[in-house]
Amino acid sequence: MHRPFLSMDYMHQKTMKKFFIIISFLLSICVMPAYAEGPEFFFSHGKGKECAENWLFMEKLLDENGIRCREVKQIAGFPYLRGNQEILGLASKISTKYAEHKWLELLRRIDLQARYAELSALDESKLKSFCSKARIDCSQGRIRAYIARCSAIIMGDEKTNHNFMKILKEHAIRSLSSNTSSGKARCFQDPKTLDGVAGPDVVSSIFIPPPKTKTSVGRLQKRIQLQKNVRPY
């Protein structure tokens, strides 16, 4: 059968339509926000892969059993970091490497304190399933030691990404306005200071590096002087 002749304009329009569909699809991938709700990690893991897998298993257990601290919020994409409104809000004020380090350690410490309380309220059979997955003894001391160690390994693994802190700050700020519930369990008596974990002195220390002691400065000066006085053979 003879096919009707297709004009050049028609062919051009059809080609351009396909072109724009492809471009739109590619742009949607590129600009798709990385921020997502849920206990998934934003970064992939190498050295801390096993810890990350066991961490998500623990997260699932806590979520399925509805055991979450109501005083703190988890940072999406960083399920080992948490803070209250004040601590999360510091993300927009931190600008130095020292402050970033102190803030990051505080977020991790808050999560650990909250996690210890959550796990202690978990059903014994559920807790044993986590211990079995992590291949550890199911005593409270051993569980806490394992969680603290894994938290440090995961954080160290993720910090190797050059844009780690930038993304963390963005997600912390978004978590402030997130609709996700912090939880229903009461884990801290004082929601503002989190029972001293995030007290005023702790918060202020984030922005004030400790002063250099005269002793350390004096030792350094003596060492430099001794090196100057050493005669080469």
Type of residue numbered 119: L
Cα angle, residue 104 at apex, residues 145 and 161 outer, rounded to 5°: 95
Per-domain residue ranges of the chain: 49-207
User: Is residue 27's pLDDT more than 70?
Assistant: no
Distance CA 110, CA 6 (A): 68
C-alpha distances out from residue 199 to 24, 84, 87, Å: 49, 12, 10
Q: Dihedral of the CA atoms 209, 211, 215, 217 (nearest 10)?
A: 80
Residue 209 has what pLDDT? 87
- 95 three-class SS: coil
Note the pLDDT tens digit of each residue in 212-228.
Answer: 765 555 666 767 666 66
* 6 pLDDT more than 60: no
62-73, pLDDT tens digit by residue? Answer: 999 999 999 999
Rounded Cα gap, residues 183 and 72, in angstroms: 8
